[in-house]
């Protein structure tokens, strides 16, 4: 009788009879693993728990504690939702239903326009299907048979997907009357799917093409335990409170208008925040020898053809047709900085040369992808390009890493690093790419910085380091990027004269640390929930007189605060002092100075902090010294 030899993750080996499945092995290992098992990895490949094992295999049983297990649970919940919708709304056609970070979605063509008001009914039907505990079974049939089946079902979307698949065996998954075209794997039965929540509905073009049908995209999430789901929903609720678009309105920071979609209108307070952040970036860069420049924002196509953007990036650019000439609005500064470099003969002594620019950039983003400050069409970067000798790469990358660490630590944000390597549409020679990737890896290792490889996600002109920062809610945001480029110097014919008198090519380092300033402000608005540290707050102090007769003293306090360089407001409204304090709290102003009879007589101020409450009475000079020290240290 044939046997199966199973190697478990701890290295132990067990022998089973032919036909044994991962589910059988889970039962043999422990009753708890059998209860929690969702999917298996056999020789590195994910499979259903009911898959028969053959020969000698390495086996890992996955639960919701494993990323692959949780992903499978969510994929199966997407099918559960689709089945419930088809039961409730006959005639619904299904497009695609993948998992995404923290959940899943399904694009559907439903006879009824759905809204969040329908979610309770859909979820109730999903719970009924869970109670039915329907087995989820995989089937493999010839492609022609699958086409016949979906043609009879009238599912045009599945038929189109089938057209793109090679002839041969096609995998389907069934649960009760429901059938879906799917690669799998899935959990064993609908009874495993108990903790889920539908979150939102949006429009989505079929295959992302604005010329194709508009579908309804239903988003949801799922967990193995209700406690995990509840914790996630609490985080979502907190994130909604911190939504930068909501806070932007409440704190009067910025707005968007239909007259300029994707472009930001900065209000006075928001622009103060913007300029403070920009000044912080400038201060650090000047310490590291950066020179600030400003270049045009519209160029003829020849520049973009030389850089390669016309061939690789044109669909993301704003194109202007004028006087029978085509022009391109710049989406990035690097080609212009190459022109600046090339304006004179360079010596090896001139390098490294560090150009920084904060000017406007524009990229065409589809209207459906715009999202507050996080996805815009017009933006500014703390952009810089370094022209270096090859022997200077590691030192200069090290300096950039030091700047990144200083900036992110100032905001109390940790980060992770990804090394993104050569993409499919790369420019240049593979040997050059290998040298560039190795140089980035050496720089990270030299500074003892851990990183992960992100294969194939480099820019078309060079590999890069991507920095994912983590905010106060534990969410990850891709911000800084550092790109090493051997291609642009070649394409722009950039040279320097080496010490032996021969011309050589410099290497170019592209880097942005905040990323786009607009997006970074959106991120830190949510990170701080709008309660910016005092050094960054648009208004740092608000003086609140107890009554009208205290206005003269209050205005004197306000004047002295301004003379000390603090950003302040004087609340002269004829309102009760309690109302004024609550309003300052709502505006998240760090300090409130309440002045009444005693303060006016003693020349003091009664200090209140938005977080710490009443700090007592103190001399104005003492308060100013205290706040200035807090600002200078950029304390959180």
Residues catalogued as catalytic: 334, 363, 381, 383, 385, 464, 510
H or E element: which one contains 319?
Answer: strand 319-322
Beta pairing partners, 12: none
What does the alpha-carbon distance between residue 230 and residue 136 come to, in Å, rounded to a whole number? 26
Q: In what order do the strands lie in the sheet with 604-609?
A: 568-570, 541-545, 591-595, 604-609, 613-619
What does the alpha-carbon distance between residue 109 and residue 560 come to, in Å, rounded to a whole number? 64
Distance of CA 610 to the CA centre of its chain: 30
What does the alpha-carbon distance between residue 484 and residue 442 come to, in Å, rounded to a whole number? 13
**Nearest to residue 6, comparing CAs of 25, 19, 23?**
25
Beta pairing partners, 215: 204
Beta pairing partners, 59: 42
Tell me how crowded residue 574 is: count the other CB atoms within 10 A of its CB. Answer: 6
In this structure, the dihedral spanned by the alpha carbons of residues 83, 84, 86 and 92, taken in order and rounded to 10 degrees, is -100
CA–CA distances in Å: residue 361 to residues 27, 231, 337, 616: 59, 39, 14, 48
Q: What is the longest distance spanned by two Cα atoms in the chain?
A: 101
Instruction: Supply 555's token pair.
Output: 């205005």
Q: Which residues of 419-430 are buried (b: 16+ CB within 10 A; e: fewer)?
A: bbbbbeebbbee
Helix residue spans in 197-313 (DSSP H): 226-242, 244-250, 268-287, 301-307, 309-312
Q: What are phi and psi of 371, to 5 degrees?
A: -150, 90
**DSSP sequence for 224-258:** SSHHHHHHHHHHHHHHHHH-HHHHHHHTT-EE--T
Task: Express the helix, strand and coil content of the chain in percent, nearest 5 each.
Answer: 40, 30, 30
What are the E-state strand segments in 460-518? 464-470, 476-485, 496-497, 503-504, 507-516
HSE value, Cβ hemisphere, 13 Å, CA-based, for 348? 12
Cα dihedral across residues 532, 538, 541, 545: positive or negative: negative
**DSSP sequence for 44-105:** TEEE-TTPPP-SEEEEEEE-TTSHHHHHHHHHHHHHHHHHHHHHHSTT-EE----EETTEEE
Angle of helix 620-632 relative to helix 551-563, nearest 10 degrees, comes to 40
What does the alpha-carbon distance between residue 295 and residue 449 come to, in Å, rounded to a whole number? 34
User: Strand 93-94 and strand 103-109: pairing?
Assistant: antiparallel
H or E element: which one contains 204?
Answer: strand 195-205
* 3-state helix/strand/coil string of 331-379: CCCHHHHHHHHCCCCCEHHHCCEEEEECCEEECCCCHHHCECCCECCEE
């Amino acid at each position: 009788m044939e046997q199966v030899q199973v190697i478990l993750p701890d290295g132990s080996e067990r022998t089973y009879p032919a036909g044994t499945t991962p589910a059988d092995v889970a039962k043999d290992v422990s009753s708890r693993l059998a209860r929690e098992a969702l999917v298996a990895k056999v020789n590195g490949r994910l499979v259903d728990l009911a898959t028969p094992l053959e020969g000698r295999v390495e086996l890992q049983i996955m639960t919701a504690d494993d990323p692959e297990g949780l992903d499978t649970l969510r994929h199966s919940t997407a099918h559960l939702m689709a089945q419930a919708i088809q039961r409730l709304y006959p005639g619904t056609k299904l497009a695609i239903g993948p998992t995404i970070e923290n959940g899943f979605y399904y694009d559907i063509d439903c006879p009824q326009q759905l809204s969040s008001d329908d979610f309770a009914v859909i979820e109730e039907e999903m719970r009924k299907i869970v109670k039915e505990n329907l087995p989820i079974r995989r089937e493999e049939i010839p492609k022609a048979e699958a086409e016949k089946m979906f043609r009879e079902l009238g599912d045009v979307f599945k038929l189109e997907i089938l057209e793109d698949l090679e002839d041969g065996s096609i995998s389907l998954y069934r649960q009760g009357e429901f059938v879906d075209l799917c690669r799998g794997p899935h959990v064993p039965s609908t009874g495993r799917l108990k903790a889920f929540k539908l979150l939102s509905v949006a429009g989505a073009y079929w295959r992302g093409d604005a010329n194709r049908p508009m579908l309804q995209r239903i988003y949801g999430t799922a967990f193995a335990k209700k406690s995990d789901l509840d914790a996630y929903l609490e985080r979502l609720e907190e994130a909604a409170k911190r939504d930068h678009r909501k806070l932007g309105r409440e704190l009067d920071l910025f707005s968007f208008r239909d007259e300029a979609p994707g472009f930001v209108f900065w209000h006075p307070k928001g622009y103060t925040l913007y300029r403070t952040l920009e000044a912080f970036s400038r201060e650090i860069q000047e310490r590291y020898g950066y020179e600030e420049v400003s270049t045009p924002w519209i160029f003829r196509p020849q520049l973009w053809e030389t850089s390669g953007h016309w061939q690789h990036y044109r669909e993301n650019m704003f194109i202007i047709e004028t006087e029978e000439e085509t022009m391109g609005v710049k989406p990035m500064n690097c080609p212009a900085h190459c022109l600046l470099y090339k304006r004179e003969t360079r010596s090896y002594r001139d390098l490294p040369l560090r150009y920084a620019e904060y000017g406007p950039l524009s990229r065409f983003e589809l209207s459906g992808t715009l999202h507050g400050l996080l996805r815009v069409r017009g933006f500014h970067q703390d952009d810089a390009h370094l022209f270096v000798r090859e022997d200077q790469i590691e030192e200069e990358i090290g300096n950039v890493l030091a700047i990144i660490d200083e900036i992110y630590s100032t905001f109390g944000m940790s980060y992770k690093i990804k090394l993104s390597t050569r993409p499919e549409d790369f420019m240049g020679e593979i040997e050059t790419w290998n040298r560039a990737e190795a140089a980035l890896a050496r720089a990270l290792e030299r500074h003892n910085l851990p990183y992960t490889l992100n294969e194939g996600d480099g820019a078309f002109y060079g590999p890069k380091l991507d920095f994912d920062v983590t905010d106060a809610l534990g969410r990850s945001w891709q911000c800084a990027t550092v790109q090493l480029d051997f291609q642009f110097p070649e394409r722009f014919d950039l040279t320097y004269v080496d010490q032996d008198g021969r011309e050589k090519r410099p290497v170019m380092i592209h880097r942005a640390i905040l990323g786009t300033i607009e997006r970074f402000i959106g991120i830190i608005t949510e990170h701080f929930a709008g309660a910016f540290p005092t050094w960054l707050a648009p208004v740092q102090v608000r003086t609140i007189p107890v009554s009208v007769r205290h206005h003269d003293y209050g205005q004197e306090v306000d004047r002295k605060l301004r003379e000390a360089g603090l950003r302040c407001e004087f609340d002269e409204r004829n309102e009760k002092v309690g109302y004024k304090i609550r309003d300052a709290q709502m505006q998240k102003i760090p300090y409130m100075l309440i002045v009444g009879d005693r303060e006016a007589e003693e020349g003091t101020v009664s200090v209140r902090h938005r977080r710490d409450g009443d700090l007592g009475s103190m001399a104005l000079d003492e308060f100013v010294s205290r706040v200035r020290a807090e600002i200078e240290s950029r304390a959180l």
